[in-house]
């Protein structure tokens, strides 16, 4: 099953998309990656969805990537004695550690770590930023505030603290349990919420022990500030625009998105753009023009993947949402302007032999009548470097490891194929030619470009570039031994 576009589509599973038939229909409509949201559903629910995905994978013969999204710590106020209260602008309001139910003057905030980090002048945001409080004075167990943006506050509404780095670990106790469950289940990627510093990512990677790759969700101002350091230790990035738009002025999010995408691309690490991409399709079978433009913008910027959340998890039209996103992607990538934008943003520091090999492969493919670039990749690193080049021709990523094929399915342009382990160059060339023809990328009259590393099946040895005819009879004396 060959996609007609390079950007990947991530579809979140949920109550509207939990059975085998719907998951298969979502994949056939264009979903390349399925997101399991650990914030919702039991482990039994998650396990059942995982089983269905792997059955679809086996039935259709295509590697499918699974992303488990960890919830992260949730900072919430306590309860109110008489239900919701209305906070008016200029009113005084106190948050403290007292467990007494709240009223119009105060409420419990059961998070001493927040009080420990606050300073006068800091901002507290409640209920996704609908209410804003300015901290006037504070101590280890309280914060006296003034209401700057009024609104209704009710039981257990979320709290955001945009101005400070909180002494809160990205992994709650629930997240640690969920991480171990997801890794044992066999997911391919973990999305880490509440990242503020590179140490948060390193802790998750230490717990994952290589069983899954770790993707850092950039959703807090602290993560934006520390982005370069976080990117360096992460396997991938998610631009989580929901919380970014709460904790930062919403008009700053588009330039931040552009910078995060370019940084991840330069590092050859996959980047997902997420949150509210086709939000209206939760209730409507068609999106707004603004939503279509939003998806298109992320694709023009070179994102590896665009993501659906509630649209596919709980919406009325999950398959239509994937179909729409697929059609938008195909339309954008056919636009000549798309190639101009992508190539103008190709800002890559080439410092290794592998960097040079993949750059040369792209240039040869684009300068001649080459039908595809085939790359052998044990771990996925070389395939990611080829993807970073954003070539005009398809990329066939060959690997003997199903785990690597699944992980690479998140990366821009990679059509992943499982092949036999190779020990000689001639065998690799023949395997690449066979894959190019069987997967519909080339015919017997065509040529492909091959990148590989000798010795084979050793990480980080990319050192071979070869133009190969797709007629096996013309492949001779490739490997004299």
Name the pairing type of β-strands 131-139 and 189-192: unpaired
Q: Report the distance separating Cα 432 and Cα 2, nearest Å.
A: 16
- Of 175, 236, 249, the residue nearest 10 (C-alpha): 236
Share of the chain above pLDDT 90, in %: 89
CATH classification for the domain delimited by 353-474, as one of 3.40.50.2300, 1.10.287.110, 3.40.640.10, 3.40.1380.20 = 3.40.1380.20
Q: Are 299 and 306 in contact (CB under 8 A)?
A: yes
Other residues' Cβ atoms within 10 Å of the Cβ of residue 156 = 11
For residue 169, report the phi and psi dihedrals to the nearest 5 degrees.
Answer: -70, 145
Domain locations along the chain: 8-72+170-337, 85-160, 353-474
Distances (CA, A) of 207 to 192, 231, 472: 12, 18, 46
Q: Identify the band that residue 463 occupies on the pLDDT scale cut at 50, 70 and 90.
A: confident
- Of 259, 272, 264, 258, the residue nearest 300 (C-alpha): 258
Q: Which residue has the tokens 């171990």?
A: 180
Q: Identify the band that residue 472 occupies on the pLDDT scale cut at 50, 70 and 90.
A: confident
Name the pairing type of β-strands 131-139 and 123-126: antiparallel
Superfamily of domain 85-160: PK beta-barrel domain-like (2.40.33.10)
Superfamily of domain 8-72+170-337: Phosphoenolpyruvate-binding domains (3.20.20.60)
Residue 477: its pLDDT value, please? 55
Q: Identify the band that residue 292 occupies on the pLDDT scale cut at 50, 70 and 90.
A: very high
Q: Identify the band that residue 476 occupies on the pLDDT scale cut at 50, 70 and 90.
A: low
Residue 1: its pLDDT value, please? 80
- Per-residue pLDDT tens for 81-133? 999 999 999 999 999 999 999 999 999 999 999 999 999 999 999 998 999 99
- Per-residue pLDDT tens for 338-395? 999 999 988 777 788 999 999 999 999 999 999 999 999 888 999 999 999 999 999 9
- Per-residue pLDDT tens for 165-184? 999 999 999 999 999 999 99
pLDDT greater than 50 at residue 481:
no
What are residue 217's DSSP bridge partners? 238
Residue 423: its pLDDT value, please? 80
Q: Mean pLDDT, to the nearest integer, of 209-233?
A: 97
pLDDT greater than 80 at residue 64:
yes
Q: Report the distance separating Cα 85 and Cα 105, nearest Å.
A: 9
Cβ-based neighbours of 473, under 8 Å, separated by 6 or more: none
Q: Which DSSP helix (H) or strand (E) runs through 133?
A: strand 131-139
pTM for this model (two decimals): 0.94
Q: Are 354 and 376 in contact (CB under 8 A)?
A: no
Beta strands in 211-341 (DSSP E): 213-218, 236-240, 271-274, 305-308
- Per-residue pLDDT tens for 13-54? 999 999 999 999 999 999 999 999 999 989 999 999 999 999
- Of 46, 42, 38, the residue nearest 18 (C-alpha): 46
Q: Report the distance separating Cα 309 and Cα 238, nearest Å.
A: 13
Catalytic positions are 35, 76, 217, 275
pLDDT greater than 90 at residue 295:
yes
For residue 233, report the phi and psi dihedrals to the nearest 5 degrees.
Answer: -100, -10
């Amino acid at each position: 099953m060959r996609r007609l576009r390079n950007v990947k589509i991530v579809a979140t599973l949920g109550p509207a998309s939990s059975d085998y038939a719907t998951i298969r229909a979502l994949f056939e409509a264009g979903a390349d990656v399925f997101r399991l949201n650990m914030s919702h559903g039991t482990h039994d629910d998650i396990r059942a969805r995982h089983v269905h995905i792997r059955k679809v994978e086996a039935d259709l013969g295509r590697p499918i990537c699974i992303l488990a999204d960890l919830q992260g710590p949730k900072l919430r106020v306590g309860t109110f004695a008489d239900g919701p209260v209305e906070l008016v602008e200029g009113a005084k309001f106190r948050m403290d550690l007292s467990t007494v139910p709240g009223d119009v003057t105060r409420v419990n905030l059961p998070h001493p770590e927040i009080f420990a980090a606050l300073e006068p002048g800091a901002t507290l945001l409640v209920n996704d930023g609908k209410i804003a409080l300015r901290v006037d004075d504070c101590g280890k167990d309280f914060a006296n505030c003034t209401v700057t943006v009024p609104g209704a506050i009710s039981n257990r509404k979320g709290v955001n603290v945009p101005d400070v780095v909180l002494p809160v670990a990205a992994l709650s106790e629930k997240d640690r349990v969920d991480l171990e469950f997801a890794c044992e289940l066999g997911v391919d990627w973990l999305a880490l919420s509440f990242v503020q510093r590179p140490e948060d990512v390193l802790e998750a990677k230490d717990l994952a022990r290589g069983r899954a790759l770790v993707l850092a969700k950039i959703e807090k101002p602290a993560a934006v500030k520390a982005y370069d350091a976080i990117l360096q230790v992460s396997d991938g990035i998610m631009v989580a625009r929901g919380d970014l738009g709460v904790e930062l002025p919403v008009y700053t999010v588009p330039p931040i998105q552009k910078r995060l995408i370019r940084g991840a691309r330069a590092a050859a690490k996959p980047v997902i753009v997420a949150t509210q991409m086709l939000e209206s399709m939760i209730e409507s079978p068609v999106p707004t023009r603004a939503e279509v433009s939003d998806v298109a913008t992320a694709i023009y910027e070179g994102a590896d993947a665009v993501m659906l959340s509630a649209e596919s998890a709980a919406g009325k039209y999950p398959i239509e949402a994937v179909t729409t996103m697929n059609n938008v992607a195909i339309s954008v990538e056919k636009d000549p302007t798309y190639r101009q934008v992508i190539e103008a943003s190709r800002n890559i520091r080439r410092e290794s032999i592998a960097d040079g090999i993949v750059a040369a492969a792209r240039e040869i493919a684009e300068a001649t009548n080459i039908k595809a670039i085939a790359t052998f990749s044990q771990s996925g690193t070389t395939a990611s470097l080829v993807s970073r080049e954003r070539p005009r021709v398809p990329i066939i990523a060959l690997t003997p490891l199903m785990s690597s094929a699944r992980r690479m399915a998140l990366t821009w342009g990679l059509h992943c194929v499982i092949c036999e382990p190779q020990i000689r160059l001639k065998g690799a060339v023949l395997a690449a030619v066979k894959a190019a023809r069987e997967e519909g990328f080339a015919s017997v009259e065509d040529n492909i470009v091959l990148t590989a590393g000798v010795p084979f099946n050793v990480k980080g040895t990319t050192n071979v570039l070869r133009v190969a005819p797709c007629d096996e009879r013309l492949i001779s004396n490739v490997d004299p031994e």
